[in-house]
Amino acid sequence: MAVKQRTAALRWLLGGAVLPLLGAVACGGTSYGDVPRLEGPSPVAQLRMLGTVWTVAQERPGGEARRHAMSVAQAPDRPPRGTPAQVPMRPDELVVGVEIGGEVIAYPLRFLNQVEVLNDEAGGTPVAVTWCPLAGTATIFDRRVAGTVHTFHFGTSLIHDSLLLVDQETGSVWAQIAREAISGSHEGTGLEVIPSLQTTWAFWSARHPDTQVMGFPQEQGYPYVYADFPADHFPNPLPSHHDPAPLGLGVEVAGEHWFFPLRELDELHGDLPRLADGALQVRYEPAGLVAWVEDRNGDLIDSQMAYERAWLAVHPESHVYSYTFPGLHP
């Protein structure tokens, strides 16, 4: 393995992005009554430090990016799935849902908030499911890079206050929201995104009643829902709620970046914008607190739900949509 093998517990504890892992160890979970349980070990029990890699990153939220030895924590691999009876869900809690290769899977954010990165296989495709609570971004990547399946782990530092991944094969460091490697042998290489929906369980399960649900045995986590949490500063500890006020949809079309705040889409009452000369349609469902982009066939196009500040930190040249001034530029 390319990640340097040595103990780095102190640096790990200092890393601001590792708070979800510490919170997972501290919490006993939420009781859902006497329900069938999935089998297997707890992911928290599996977490261990793999070593460090050198990269330019922030050691804590809001900090200055500089070159330092970033600790790497092991991500879970092939977590079990079950039915909603085995993984009880609240209607308002959040999931990232994907439909690929004939399989439909919901990954609850209450579990992703504990580990932030996991490796899985969906519909025959090796995928990395990632979640950054500071940026509000849930993204699913194809784990194949240059024809080789990679295994991704959790970097305990940040870039632009968002998640970093480290691949096991080369030790390259990847930025989630930028979708590319920022250091290592893969620097400048992009990851292919598997289109998904970041939405409420009620919205996803209504669209996909046959969905599987990813769950961790012996861990129920805390339901992760939309609520009033100010997203313009960095709380300690990290929140178990998600504020929709600064949330929106980012997308790249023909080399240009756009950001559609949900608050602006809410004013359009269904008359939503089109892109690429009408070939692409922005969709928004207030009930599911979700927006996405689809083509004329109704297929999902790669787009990113994110906090506005997180998207603009990576794409500062973006056009920010306004229902009053549709071409508004930041």
Q: At residue 171, does pLDDT exceed 80?
A: yes
pLDDT bracket for residue 67 (50, 70, 90): very high
- Predicted confidence at residue 239, as pLDDT, reads 58
Distance CA 241, CA 30 (A): 15
Domain ranges of the chain: 9-194, 244-330
| Cβ-count burial 189-207 (b if 16+ within 10 Å, e if not) | eebeebbbbbbbbbbbbee
Q: Indicate the SS3 state at residue 284.
A: strand
Please compute the mean of the pLDDT values over residues 37-42 and round it to a whole number. 62
| 163/178 Cα distance (integer angstroms) | 10
Q: What integer best gives the mean pLDDT of the chain?
A: 83
- Residue 29 confidence (pLDDT): 35
In this predicted structure, the answer to whether residue 232 has a pLDDT above a threshold of 70 is: no
CA 31 centroid distance within chain: 25
Where residue 37 falls among pLDDT bands split at 50, 70, 90? Answer: low
Pair of tokens at residue 330: 């930041």
- Give yes or no for residue 1 having a pLDDT over 80: no
> pTM value?
0.84
Structure confidence at residue 46 (pLDDT)? 60
CA distances from 155 to 11, 23, 113, 245, 258 (A): 12, 16, 14, 28, 28
Percent of the chain scored above 70 by pLDDT? 78
> 87 near 106, Cβ under 8 Å?
no
The two three-digit tokens of residue 144, written as one number: 């194949």
**pLDDT for 41-63, tens place per residue?**
566 666 678 999 999 999 988 89
| Nearest-angstrom CA–CA distance, 159 and 17 | 10
Q: What is the mean pLDDT of residues 262-290?
A: 91
Long-range contacts of 295-302 (CB under 8 A, 24+ apart): 299/195, 300/195, 300/196, 300/197, 301/195, 301/251, 302/193, 302/195, 302/251, 302/252
Asked if residue 265 lies in contact with residue 272, where contact means CB atoms within 8 angstroms, the answer is: yes
Quote the tokens at residue 12.
Answer: 């790990």
Alpha helices in 15-80 (DSSP H): 19-26, 43-46
Give the Cα separation of 32 and 13 in Å (integer). 31
Residue 257 pLDDT > 70: yes
- pLDDT-derived band at 6 (thresholds 50, 70, 90) equals very low
pLDDT at 229 over 60: no
